Amino acid sequence: MIEIKNVSFTYAGGKKDNGLSHINLNIRTGEILLICGESGCGKTTLTRLINGLIPYYYEGSLSGQVLIDGEDMSSKPLYETAKKVASVFQNPRTQFYNVETTSEIVFALENMGLPENEILSRLDQTNKNLKLQHLLNRSLFALSGGEKQKIACASADAINPEIVVLDEPSSNLDISTIQDLKNIVVQWKNAHKTVIVAEHRLYYLAPLADRILYMKNGKIQQEFTAKEFSRLSPQALLRMGLRSLNPFSLKPEAFPNKEKSFISFKNFNYAYKRRTPLQLNIPSLELPSNEIIGIIGNNGAGKSTFARCLCGLDKSAQGKLTINNKNYATKQRRKLTYMVMQDVNHQLFTESILDEILLSMEGAAPAKEEKTAQEVLQSLDLIDKQELHPMSLSGGEKQRVAIGSAIASHKEILIFDEPTSGLDYRHMLEVSDNLKSLQNLGKTIFIITHDPELIYKCCTYILFIHKGSVLWHRPMDAKTQRLLADFFSSENSKVGG
């Protein structure tokens, strides 16, 4: 169905990172193709060739041919390609046109001019496929990142395309929601659709794939069948910079401090609207400071709401925060805390990466600030990109820039919402090492995450939030390991792990 003939691409401005070099690839009808590799290897660029965003949206120097059903896509307008190829992006917000979920799912169908009964029929089928009952007719602004990603998948499913292209579709999803994503991929496979997925999380998708491509430096380095890929040792995967095929069998590597001081929460409550139930309801909670606290729970449980209330971003939130017998009002919390949001595009403001890091720093001499900023960039493997515009980076690179800003801010409490979203294994380790270094400096760190590899690498304390309430919280010890194993195994059993 898809032929890529000797394609090379360099983004406008001559930036070779994330580009492609002499790609030759045939993709058969009904094939599931998994594309993996470290951040910046060209995975996303390859997907953009197939869905037509290159050259119509992303400008640059393109040579070679991309054929779908024998037709050269460079001669077709983008709206024609969109009838055959549906896309799900890493950041679902970039593909939304509406403010309400049901309208978003049927938006493309309305633009295709389908009759109302056909639109309603497809909406009903997609609702059943992805179990969307609790997400229909809701404001997109009130959804968690994972719930938004699910709506993006639903929009693609409703089109009923021949080809589906997904770029890091699981990056913000919890384990049970990944099951829904896996199920819809299986349905697409059974319907003989062609599915191309660029992904870092490999465990749920590798067994389904007909082929796995490993990319490096803009080239296809190796090609595997699912069976061949499953035989790769953990050491081989690490050398390739790839995530584990069985992340739920790992053991914790970080444990809590012995000396304790505490952060106390009283009557922490928040509701998005007065007439709706509380999204957060924590009558009393005491957590240790100077720990790396992993916040776990399913999408929509209230984890991000808790984080925004903690750092004072939601002014209407109720409750009292006490540290060392001192109470902190909402405004005071903003001076005490720094939050890296799930969608880091909300907090990238400057013209260069170096300036972005410098923006979060205050009080030091300019020369010292720049030296410190460069050290932070070096630790996150971004020093060679310091003069680039933040918005020119890949999703994973933007994530690391925002993390760098938090590191450089010198705030006492740091909150990270899905900090390893879109990151490969090597860069996940770099983030983990930086978090441990911050803890050694006396910082208290909260991490909202669905990433078991990050949890086991660096978290010293776990907080489990479910439906806006705290189910349990414990230091990382033998009992916590069992609780995590129960949580992950019950969820993982649903995805065939």
User: Is residue 194 very low, low, confident or very high in pLDDT (cuts 50, 70, 90)?
Assistant: very high
Least confident segment among 240-249, 363-372, 472-481: 363-372
**Residue 232 and residue 312 in one domain:** no
**Residue 10 and residue 55 in one domain:** yes
Q: Give a yes or no: residue 156 inside a domain.
A: yes
* Residue at a domain's end among 218, 245, 272: 245
- Residue 9, classed as helix, strand or coil, is strand
pLDDT of residue 310: 92
pLDDT tens for residues 274-332?
545 558 899 999 999 999 999 998 877 889 889 988 988 877 778 899 998 899 988 88
Mean pLDDT within 456-468: 95
**Residue 266 and residue 238 in one domain:** no
For 51, counting Cβ atoms within 10 Å of its Cβ (0-12 exposed, 13-18 middle, 19+ buried), the class is: buried
Q: Give a yes or no: residue 86 inside a domain.
A: yes
**Residue 279 and residue 382 in one domain:** yes
Task: Report whether pLDDT(494) > 50.
Answer: no
Task: Report whether pLDDT(46) > 90.
Answer: yes
- Per the CB < 8 A criterion, the answer to whether 169 and 197 are in contact is yes
pLDDT tens for residues 337-347?
999 987 788 88
For 249, counting Cβ atoms within 10 Å of its Cβ (0-12 exposed, 13-18 middle, 19+ buried), the class is: middle
Q: In what order do the strands lie in the sheet with 20-27?
A: 20-27, 2-11, 60-68, 71-72
* Residue at a domain's end among 245, 272, 288: 245
Enumerate residues 6+ apart whose C-beta is below 8 A from 160: 122
Task: Report whether pLDDT(89) > 90.
Answer: no
Copy the structure tokens of residue 36.
């993996």
* Residue at a domain's end among 219, 245, 271: 245
pLDDT of residue 128: 86
**Residue 227 and residue 373 in one domain:** no
Mean pLDDT within 174-196: 86
Where b means 16+ CB within 10 Å and e means fewer, 445-477 reads: bbbbbbbbbbbbbbbbbbbbbeebebeebebbe
**Residue 283 and residue 236 in one domain:** no
Integer Cα distance of 438 and 33 in angstroms:
39
Task: Report whether pLDDT(497) > 60.
Answer: no
Prediction pTM value:
0.82
Q: Give a yes or no: residue 301 inside a domain.
A: yes
**Residue 270 and residue 194 in one domain:** no
Q: Give a yes or no: residue 414 inside a domain.
A: yes
Integer Cα distance of 229 and 202 in angstroms:
10
Where b means 16+ CB within 10 Å and e means fewer, 3-21 reads: bbeebebbbeeeeebbbbe
Task: Report whether pLDDT(101) > 90.
Answer: yes
Least confident segment among 100-104, 154-158, 170-174: 170-174
Mean pLDDT of the chain: 88
Q: Give a yes or no: residue 257 inside a domain.
A: no
Task: Report whether pLDDT(42) > 50.
Answer: yes
Number of folded domains that form the chain = 2
User: Is residue 378 very low, low, confident or very high in pLDDT (cuts 50, 70, 90)?
Assistant: very high
Integer Cα distance of 367 and 229 in angstroms:
49
Task: Report whether pLDDT(493) > 50.
Answer: no
**Residue 142 and residue 286 in one domain:** no
Copy the structure tokens of residue 276.
């709706």
Task: Report whether pLDDT(495) > 50.
Answer: no
Q: Give a yes or no: residue 182 inside a domain.
A: yes
Q: Give a yes or no: residue 124 inside a domain.
A: yes
**How do 194-198 and 163-167 pair as beta strands?**
parallel
User: Is residue 170 very low, low, confident or very high in pLDDT (cuts 50, 70, 90)?
Assistant: confident
pLDDT of residue 12: 85
Query: Does residue 146 or residue 428 have the better pLDDT?
Result: 428
**Domain range for residue 325?**
262-495
DSSP state of 460: S
**Residue 357 and residue 324 in one domain:** yes
**Residue 327 and residue 233 in one domain:** no
Q: Give a yes or no: residue 252 inside a domain.
A: no
**Residue 241 and residue 380 in one domain:** no
**Residue 134 and residue 211 in one domain:** yes
Shortest CA distance to 309 belongs to which of 287, 277, 334, 345?
Answer: 334
User: Is residue 99 very low, low, confident or very high in pLDDT (cuts 50, 70, 90)?
Assistant: very high
CATH number at residue 92: 3.40.50.300
